[in-house]
Amino acid sequence: MGAAGSKLEKALGDQFPESERYFGLENFGNTCYCNSVLQALYFCTPFREQLLDYYGNHKNPGDAEENLLTCLADLFSQISSQKKKTGVIAPKRFVQRVKKENELFRSYMHQDAHEFLNFLLNELVDILEKESNAATSSPGTLTASENIANGTCNHVSNGIKEEQLVSWVHRIFQGTLTNETRCLLCETVTARDETFLDLSLDIEQNSSITSCLKNFSSTETLNAEDKFFCDKCCSLQEAQKRMKIKKLPHILVIHLKRFKYIEQLGRNKKLSYRVVFPVELKLSNTVDGDDTEYSLFAVVVHVGSGPNHGHYVSLVKSHSHWLFFDDENVDMIDESAVQTFFGSAQEYSSNTDHGYILFYERAVPGVELHHGPFDSTTVLLLFSLQFSLPPPFFLLLLLLLLLLLYHSIQHTIAVYSLNEAWVGGGILPFSYCSMTITSV
CA nearest to 202, candidates 133, 271, 131, 296: 271
Burial (CB < 10 A; 0-12, 13-18, 19+), residue 271, is buried
- Specify whether 32 is catalytic: yes
**Cα 306–Cα 121–Cα 61 angle in degrees, nearest 5:** 125
**Cα 419–Cα 423–Cα 427 angle in degrees, nearest 5:** 90
Say how many CA atoms lie within 13 Å of 103 toward its Cβ: 0
CA dihedral 335, 341, 346, 348 (to 10 degrees): 140
What 3-state DSSP class applies to 197? coil
CA nearest to 259, candidates 122, 345, 357, 339: 357
**Distance, CA of 72 to CA of 48 (rounded, Å):** 10
Q: Give me the catalytic one of 114, 255, 302, 311.
A: 311
First and final C-alpha spacing in the chain: 45
**Distance, CA of 178 to CA of 319 (rounded, Å):** 35
DSSP string, 259-309: EEEETTTTEEEE--B-EE--SEEEE--BTT---EEEEEEEEEEEESSSTTS
Q: Cβ distance 209 to 275 under 8 Å?
A: yes
Burial (CB < 10 A; 0-12, 13-18, 19+), residue 21, is buried
**Cα 104–Cα 204–Cα 322 angle in degrees, nearest 5:** 70
How many CB atoms are closer than 10 A to CB 223? Answer: 13
Sheet holding 175-183, edge to edge: 189-196, 175-183, 239-247, 220-222
Residue type, 427: I
Q: Give me the catalytic one of 32, 71, 153, 183.
A: 32
CA nearest to 159, candidates 174, 172, 180: 174
- Specify whether 311 is catalytic: yes
Q: Which residues are catalytic?
A: 32, 311
